[in-house]
Amino acid sequence: MYDRNNIFYKILHGEIPSKKVFENDVALAFYDINPVCKVHVLVICKRECRNLEEFVQGSSAEEVKAYFETLTKVAEDVLGLGRSGYRVLTNTGRDAGQEVEHFHMHILGGESLKGVL
């Protein structure tokens, strides 16, 4: 069950501030509070779902496409990482070390990511 008592729900609803990068109907992008590299941005979906599996299962094909289009737009156009390159990833569950149970993807870049997990 999705629990509204998570930090990203609060950011999404303006209860906690964030350094916003981009927002549209499907997603909100903001800087990670504890960056692991020069550019570390989180792209959270606006639907209430805990992880990638719930997001894909509970969304229409158009919603999934719109989310991933937003993800690439933020990485390529907003952050300008297209030329130098970047990594996207999502954590699901305990073994992945997922901290926040609201579906999001990380965009990492701005420097060489060799050695950055």
Q: Which residues are identified as catalytic?
A: 104
Kind of pairing, strands 86-89 and 39-45?
unpaired
Q: Is 99 in the site for ligand 5GP (CB under 6 A)?
A: yes
Q: How far is the CB of 46 from ligand 5GP (least distance, A)?
A: 16
**∠ CA 48-50-52 to the nearest 5 degrees?**
105
Distance CA 112, CA 98 (A): 24
**Quick one: which of 4, 33, 111, 112 contacts ligand 5GP (CB under 6 A)?**
33
Tokens of 22: 């981009």
Distance CA 69, CA 49 (A): 19
1-20: contacts with ligand 5GP (CB under 6 A): 7, 18
Distance CA 40, CA 30 (A): 9
Residue with smaller CB distance to ligand 5GP, 88 or 100: 100
Q: Is 91 in the site for ligand 5GP (CB under 6 A)?
A: yes
Q: Is 32 in the site for ligand 5GP (CB under 6 A)?
A: yes
Tell me which residues touch ligand 5GP (CB under 6 A): 7, 18, 30-34, 42, 91, 97-100
